[in-house]
Chain A
Amino acid sequence: MTLAIEHLEVSYGRLAAVRDATVTVASGEIVALVGPNGAGKSTTLLAAAGALQPRGGTITLDGASLLGLSPEQRVRRDLAMVPEGREIFRTLTVAENLTVAAGAGRAKPGTAEVMDELLALFPILRERLRQPAGQLSGGEQQQLAIARALMTRPRYLLIDEPSLGLAPLVVKRVYEMLTELRRRQGLAILVVEQSMRRVLSVADKVCVMRDGRVVATFAGEDLSDRRRLEQVYFGLAD
């Protein structure tokens, strides 16, 4: 049970944003994709979710190729995404943001239960159900974006810079939720961050991306060698 992105290449017109990215996420794993601004992390996630068409490479879920499937079809294969900047539907209410994701997913039974479960996990959203989502604070919006993705009941969650623009305490809370979700539902998570520091404590595996390439992947023991990780991140070593 794996989401495998292998030798991915994605371009915007002439610009080759991703040249060679390989990242695999096994079920129940938290994998971090880190790298400086412009490295191609968001592009990689968008291609995995089906919002961009890759020029080369493969993307498979449990062995079956996802290439050629639309984003909405990938949602039905249990892949969900929280994009950079959260992109909640600002003109819809909090409840509508959640419902639209539930109604759109495959007609899974027990939508009401999922909603209840999620509102228990994100109590602040319950208080704001009838408010336009645009009125939420940044931290609340991030929680809504995560809850919205979870409404589709994914097995794999792609999440792009969840800490962006949030206060440190709020970031801590968001990461606690992600680990909690992994523990409770065996959710596999591919999280993108610019900074290595944030993800080291939660990730089973860290992939470092630079100039469109995943240049190194660290797991297990290697993750504790911070100095080496930093050297790779800053391009001082391979």
Chain B
Amino acid sequence: MVQTLINAISLGSIYALVALGIGLLFGVLKVINFAHGDFITIGAFALIIPSSQAAAEMGIGLMPWPLVIAGVAAVVVLTALAAEFLVFRPLRGADSATVMIASFALGYFLQSSLLLVFGSRPKSVNLWSQLNVPVVLGGAETSLLQIIIIAATALLIAGLGFLMRYTSVGLAMRAAAENFRMARLVGVRANLVIGAAIALSGILAAAVSLLIVVQTGVLSYRMGVPLMIFGFVATVIGGMGSLLGSAVGGFAVGIVSVLAQTFLPESARPFRDAVVFSVVFLVLMLRPKGLIGGGQRGERI
């Protein structure tokens, strides 16, 4: 039981991090960045030396762990900032649908680039595999990695909360998320706020890259796609535009998913995702604005 709970929370943690990354940018741009999952993929591939060989050769991944984290974060943040400069900024003032389609295109572009450089076959990599050791906690057996995933997520959420609450860029982001035009009219720099939001979403994506690679040990050029879907769903059921909602939505999706996996009869397991999406549907029927929805005005620049 405790084991199931830990599984649920650790899967929920991953989804919460993805949802927060999506939610941060949605807050200021009012656009879902569909390339967010591919930012995660980029972070994962950043670990190895570019090559289309079937066997992956570690590059950044061989460095001491703080440098691995910094290196992967740097690659993803730079990718995110490049996306801002080359895709989002030129489309400032375009309507949401246009920008969203552009982010789709960006996602495909990133996937194709990875395909070109690394080939289509999944590669197995071995990063920090010593974390996969079993540990006993409260009488239940789990792995050190699960605990680390949960702890890292808690740390990142706390850090993000602190930044939003107590720093001037966080304050500017909150003001811009509520009313972008008004924020500009009191002098908040639009580009600065959007740049900060996308860079932060890059950091969250990089964290997911690392956690996922350690957990699965596999790289594939579409690995970010399912994460993006679940993260997006989490953002929606949490309540678009609320960061707390994104986090709550992520945990909710993770927990429902693990419960379905655990308690569905064997024959129904393949329908786990269908169950998850049914629950999502139900939530949206009952609370169209999401679990933590409300007050936000959907205004754009």
Contact = CB atoms under 8 A, between A and B. Distances in A.
Interface string B263-275: 0000000000000
**Listed residue (A50, A83, A104, A151) with the most chain B CB atoms within 10 angstroms of its CB:** A104
Interface residues of B, number: 18
Nearest to B182: A87
Contacts of A96: 171, 174-175
Contacts of A124: none
B184 to A, nearest CB: 4
Interface residues of A, number: 28
B187 A89 contact: no
B183 A100 contact: yes
A71 interface: yes
A92 B175 CA distance: 7
A104 B182 contact: no
A70 B184 contact: yes
A28 interface: no
B232 to A, nearest CB: 23
Interface string A93-137: 000100111011100000000000000000000000000001000
A75 interface: yes
Contacts of B186: 75, 80, 100-101, 104-105, 148-149, 151-152
Contact of B174 (A92, A149, A151): A92
Interface string B175-198: 100110111111111100000000
A103 B185 contact: no
Interface string B148-183: 000000000000000000001001101100110111
B213 to A, nearest CB: 37
A104 B189 contact: yes
A231 interface: no
A226 interface: no
Interface in A145-192: 148-149, 151-152
A59 to B, nearest CB: 15
Interface in A55-96: 70-72, 75-76, 80-81, 83, 87, 89-92, 96
A134 B182 CA distance: 15
Contacts, number: 73
Q: Is the interface of B mostly helix, strand, loop or mixed?
A: helix
A51 B190 CA distance: 12
A160 B204 CA distance: 41
B295 interface: yes
Contacts of B181: 51, 71
B189 A89 contact: no
B168 A51 contact: no
Contact of B187 (A51, A83, A90, A152): A152
A49 interface: yes
A128 B249 CA distance: 33
Given A72-B189, A72-B190, A87-B179, A92 B171 contact: yes
Contacts of B190: 70, 72
Contacts of A91: 174, 178, 295
Nearest to B296: A91
Interface string B287-301: 000000001000000
A134 B175 CA distance: 13
B188 A72 contact: yes
A214 to B, nearest CB: 23
Given A100-B175, A103-B168, A104-B172, A83 B184 contact: no
Nearest to A87: B182
A207 to B, nearest CB: 22
Contacts of B188: 72, 100, 104
B96 to A, nearest CB: 17
A103 B171 contact: yes
Contacts of B171: 92, 96, 99-100, 103
Contacts of A49: 185
Contact of B185 (A75, A92, A134): A75
Nearest to A97: B175
A50 B172 CA distance: 19
A171 to B, nearest CB: 22
**Listed residue (A81, A100, A151) with the most chain B CB atoms within 10 angstroms of its CB:** A100
Nearest to A133: B178
Given A72-B189, A89-B175, A96-B171, 4 more contacts: A51-B184, A83-B185, A92-B171, A100-B183
11 contacts: A49-B185, A75-B186, A87-B182, A89-B179, A92-B178, A96-B171, A96-B175, A99-B168, A100-B172, A104-B189, A152-B186
